Amino acid sequence: MYIPKYFKINDEKVIYDVIKENSFATLFSQHLGHLYATHIPLNLNKEKSCLYGHFARPNEQWKDITGQEILAVFHGPHCYISPSWYETDRAVPTWNYVAVHVYGQVEIIEGKELMNSLRDLVLKYEGPNSSYQFDEVDSLFLEGMTKGLWDSK
């Protein structure tokens, strides 16, 4: 992605904040020799410098994603900038936006690491007073449901 040097964000804390606040990402990879994208929530683990998310098992993107470079795009706030906002007629329309591109590789995880990733995702989006509590869901039910997922980091 082209970024003029005066707009590039180099502060890791700012980048992490954008990811945390806008965690519904677009994950790009190659699948069967073609570009493939999936829109998924990704959780950031700062200590491990990893993103965690999961694919529905019928989504074939996971089948050949291991070992290739992937791109996760996080879209932050954005808006149209009208030339009418300036006190000159020497302006053009533009777009103001924040985006973070993260490059890396996918590692498929299962078992306890998968459950921890799912728990973290639920805890992030469910309010503390929600009637849904991940740790109170029948463990056999959760185990069955995870058979339809492939988790990745």
Q: pLDDT digit string (tens) for 52-74?
A: 998 888 899 989 999 999 999 99
| pLDDT value, residue 84 | 94
Can you say whether the dihedral through the CA atoms of 141, 147, 150, 152 is positive or negative? positive
Reported as a pLDDT band with limits 50, 70 and 90, residue 10 is: very high
| Residue 33, phi-psi category: left (phi > 0), alpha (psi -120 to 50), beta (remainder) | left
Reported as a pLDDT band with limits 50, 70 and 90, residue 150 is: low
The domain segmentation of the chain, as residue ranges, is 12-152
Model pTM greater than 0.95? Answer: no
Q: Which CATH superfamily is domain 12-152 in?
A: Electron Transport, Fmn-binding Protein; Chain A (2.30.110.10)
Write phi, then psi, for 112 (nearest 5 degrees): -60, -40
